[in-house]
Structure formats: C-alpha cells, structure tokens
Amino acid sequence: MKVLLIGSGGREHALAWKLRQSPRLTALYAAPGNPGIAEEAELVALDIDDHAAVRAFCLEKAIDLVVVGPEAPLVAGLADRLREGGITVFGPSAAAAQLEGSKGFTKDLCAANNIPTGAYRRFSDAGDAVAYVREQGAPIVIKADGLAAGKGVTVAMTLDAAIAAIGDCFDGAFGAAGAEVVVEAYLDGEEASFFCLCDGTDVLPLASAQDHKRAYDGDEGPNTGGMGAYSPAPVMSEAMVARTMEEIIRPTVRGMAAAGHPFSGVLFAGLMITAKGPELIEYNVRFGDPECQVLMMRLNADLLSLLHAAATGGLGDATAGWRDETALTVVMASKGYPGAYAKGTPIGPLPESGPGTKVFHAGTATKEGTLVATGGRVLNVTATGASVSEARARAYAAVDAVDWPGGFCRRDIGWRAVAREA
Ligand code: AMP
Ligand code: GLY
C-alpha cells in the first residue's frame, strides 16, 4: 500500500516509524515532514492547506491511504475534499471533527446522550457569562469554544480569574475561537487520556496514557502542548476502561452516527477520573502529541492494517496487541517555550536508538548538515521498561546523552506512577 502521511511533529514521526514496519507498506510519503520523518518516508513539498494540491498528488501517485496527523486540516475539511476524489483517508470529516473543533458541540452531544461531563452553559455574550459565573462561584472553568492551540482553557480558582478569562475570550485573545464561550463545572480527580479507533460504527479500544501539560517540574508553570507522557496510565484499570467504553465512547460513536456525522479516525478522550468515575473533559479527533509516541512504542500490531480498517469500515473484527511494558517519553523543548524562544539552536549528534529507546523529532530541521531546533517542542526522547521507573531511568539516560544547550525538559515525567510503584 502507498501511504501519504500529513504532519510534521513528533506524533507524525512516531506514526511514520510504525507504518514503516508494516509488511503491507510499499511506499511512504510525508508532507511536510521533518528530518526524523525523512528517515522513514520520502518528504514531499506540499502545502497541506492547499487541499486541491494534496488531492492531485494522491491521484498522481495512486495513494491508497492518507493518514492525517494534526487536527487543523481535519477541522478545515481536508478528509472531505480527499474523499470526494475517491481517496481513502484515516481521519474524520469536518462535521465529525467538530468533536474537537467546537467545545459547545461536544457538550451538547454529551447532554443529548447522557455522557458524564461537567455541567455547562454556552455563552455568546460576556455579561451573561459573568452573571452565570457569579451565580456558580469558583472554582470554575472557562473555555473558548473553538481551536485555540490548547490555550483557550482557564481553570479559574477564583471568581476574579474567571471574570478575567471571560474578558480575554470576548476581547479576542483567541481570535474567532473565543467568540463563543463554554463555562463548565470544575472536575476534581486524576486526568487520563484514552484512545480508540473508530470506523463510523465499530470501535477498537487502543490504550491509555498520561500527559504532563505544565511546562515545569511539579506541574508548575504555564500550560503547553505536553511535556512528556507515559502509557499505560495506571488509573485506567480494566474496570475503568470498561466504564469509559460503555458510558462515554460508545454513546458518542452512536450519537455521532445518529446525528449524521459518523466518526472515523482516532478518538482521543481527555478524561477526569473523579470519585464518581470517568467524566469527559474534552475530545480530540487525532492522536495526542506526545501520547502517540508512547502508544506506538507499545503497539504490537500492524498499524497500517489498523488505520486502513478504520478508514474503510473494517474494524468489526480488528484486534490490537500491546507490549506488556511501560513506555515513557520526555519532551525536550527550546528554552523559553511555551513563551518566546530562539530558533535555529544547534543540536549535536543524537544518541543511537536501542531496542527500547527511540528519539522522535518534532520541531527540527537540517541546516548545512547540522540538526537545528526550529520549534517549541523539538525532541521526544522515548524508552520502554518493565516498570514506569525503569522506562523513566532509560529515557533520562538518553536525554542526558543529547547535546543541545538551547533546550530544556522536565525531570519528573511519570511522577504519579513512580510514586505508586514506590
Ligand atoms: P482542555 O484543553 O479542554 O484539555 O483543557 C486543558 C486542561 O484544563 C485539561 O487538561 C484539564 O487539566 C483542565 N480542565 C479542563 N476542563 C476542566 C474541568 N471541567 N475541570 C477541571 N479541569 C479542567
Ligand atoms: N498532548 C495533548 C494533546 O495532544 O492534545
């Protein structure tokens, strides 16, 4: 099978690495890609916002499957445009991608299908939102409705912070994404990410992971795209997975089909495990980054067959095996991230990948033969182990072998699980 992979992050490097292991793969192209992805795929200089150009490339090369990594092209309708051209795509339609693209849409779907989530109201007027927040009190959560690069959510511990967040949204801090605001009850518990493949009707549960969203050790500092992750998440016991499937995932997939927007692709549920059980914080319509990197390290199955089955309505009898090990990834980011950072800082030769370690590239480029950092999140140093502690020790040993003075990382990825093991 000939595959085109869309994206350029660590998530897409992990997907490319795993797709490359498929006996069914005959050619792998990636757009726009990065130097790590270039080790696995032929990079093509396609503008992924130019849907007609992507479609023309697929037809010219007789691409059998397009795998879309990030959410923005899905929300913008890339999968729809390709399907109109008869091309098979892994990833939801724009209508189904509203699960990530509109928080209000997802909350309404939860309400209509009895899916456990925080109580909420939607507002398009700041005054009404402020009045509601005064009535509810703090802590409370304020969310810009649309895609805001992970920055549109404020968990307000005080009324003043909540009112300020409402002001930011309606003053345009998140552009069009903030024209509508969702105000949501604060959920107390432990967070976990849970991933499933869907083909519109059938669902194949994949695995769980836990991300570390804050920039600095001890979960301090500003929110980021994710500074490290491990899989599986111990809080997602077999019983918790079963409840999540029955109470959250299956009703969502049924509800989307009934609403005329069957969901195909990967459904990424952000969960809060509360005293009552699993509650939905949010959906994403693509793999998590860096969660994908740890999932791919553990997956003991042919990724290409699984993604193709999801894209073609064939998940009915699919299964996925998982290595009975923990995988853990440490994100190395440019100093200053998620704020301003220098671009183009040089990175020395990367440590060799061993059987249980792998360095995935995110924001890197090659300049005159040397590797340089071009983005905020730059490398994902990933390792497996019999326990979280072992995977973590291996990952940090590899981190310490990276020669990149312009970078930093958290030193405590996996702390919850390590504390449990101790
Ligand atoms: P989101 O972009 O929706 O994932 O939200 C970002 C982060 O805000 C989540 O990972 C949670 O840590 C936090 N968060 C979102 N909604 C809630 C909620 N209702 N209660 C508590 N924390 C929340
Ligand atoms: N790491 C969180 C995300 O991909 O949304």
Q: Which domains are seen in the chain, by residue range?
A: 2-93 (3.40.50.20), 125-179 (3.30.1490.20), 190-317 (3.30.470.20), 326-421 (3.90.600.10)
Tell me, using a 6 A CB cutoff, whether residue 289 lines ligand 2: yes
Task: Specify the pLDDT at position 144.
Answer: 85
Both tokens of 100, joined, read 């990530």
Closest ligand (CA of 119): 1
Ligand 2 closest atom vs CA 226:
1
What is the spatial distance between Cα 18 and Cα 34, in angstroms, rounded to a whole number? 16
Nearest residue (by CA) to ligand 2, atom 2, is 288
Both tokens of 292, joined, read 């994908």
Please give the sequence-ordered ranges of beta strands (E in DSSP) within 176-312, or none if there are none: 181-185, 190-199, 203-211, 214-216, 220-223, 228-231, 264-274, 277-284
Task: Specify the pLDDT at position 346.
Answer: 97
Contacts within 8 Å (CB) and 24+ apart, 90-93: 90/65, 90/66, 90/264, 90/265, 90/266, 90/307, 90/308, 90/310, 90/311, 91/66, 91/67, 91/264, 91/265, 91/285, 91/286, 91/311, 92/263, 92/264, 92/265, 92/285, 93/261, 93/264
Identify the H or E element spanning 31. strand 27-32
From first to last of its 422 residues, the chain has per-residue pLDDT tens of 999 999 999 999 999 999 999 999 999 999 999 999 999 999 999 999 999 999 999 999 999 999 999 999 999 999 999 999 999 999 999 999 999 988 889 999 999 999 999 988 889 989 899 999 999 999 999 988 877 766 788 899 999 999 999 988 888 777 776 678 889 999 999 999 999 999 999 999 999 999 999 999 999 998 899 999 999 999 999 999 999 999 999 999 999 999 999 999 999 999 999 999 999 999 999 999 999 999 999 999 999 999 999 999 999 999 999 999 999 999 999 999 999 999 999 999 999 888 899 999 999 999 999 999 999 999 999 999 999 999 999 999 999 999 999 999 999 999 988 988 88
Task: Specify the pLDDT at position 311.
Answer: 98
Tell me, using a 6 A CB cutoff, whether residue 284 lines ligand 2: yes
Task: Specify the pLDDT at position 333.
Answer: 98
Closest CA to 93 of 264, 253, 252: 264
Residue 346 CA to ligand 2 center (angstroms) comes to 26
Closest ligand (CA of 184): 1
Task: Specify the pLDDT at position 150.
Answer: 64
The one-letter code for the residue type at 239 is A
Ligand 1 closest atom vs CA 185:
19
Ligand 1 closest atom vs CA 143:
3
| Ligand 1 pocket, Cβ-based, cut-off 6 angstroms | 118, 141, 150, 153, 155, 184, 186-187, 191, 213, 270, 281-282
Residue 174 CA to ligand 2 center (angstroms) comes to 18
Task: Specify the pLDDT at position 194.
Answer: 98
Nearest residue (by CA) to ligand 2, atom 3, is 288
Nearest residue (by CA) to ligand 2, atom 4, is 288
Sheet holding 42-43, edge to edge: 42-43, 27-32, 2-7, 65-68, 89-90
Measured CA to CA in angstroms, residue 109 lies from 140, 268, 277 at distances of 21, 16, 19
What is the spatial distance between Cα 196 and Cα 269, in angstroms, rounded to a whole number? 8
What is the spatial distance between Cα 69 and Cα 54, in angstroms, rounded to a whole number? 14
Task: Specify the pLDDT at position 5.
Answer: 98
What is the spatial distance between Cα 396 and Cα 162, in angstroms, rounded to a whole number? 38
Ligand 1 closest atom vs CA 281:
16
Closest CA to 410 of 211, 232, 148, 189: 211
Q: How are beta strands 214-216 and 220-223 bridged, if at all?
A: antiparallel
Nearest residue (by CA) to ligand 1, atom 6, is 153
Task: Specify the pLDDT at position 37.
Answer: 98
- Other beta carbons within 10 angstroms of residue 221's beta carbon come to 15
- Cβ atoms of 269 and 244 closer than 8 Å: yes
Tell me, using a 6 A CB cutoff, whether residue 211 lines ligand 2: yes
Task: Specify the pLDDT at position 340.
Answer: 95
Nearest residue (by CA) to ligand 1, atom 13, is 155
Task: Specify the pLDDT at position 252.
Answer: 98
What is the spatial distance between Cα 376 and Cα 390, in angstroms, rounded to a whole number? 27
Task: Specify the pLDDT at position 182.
Answer: 86
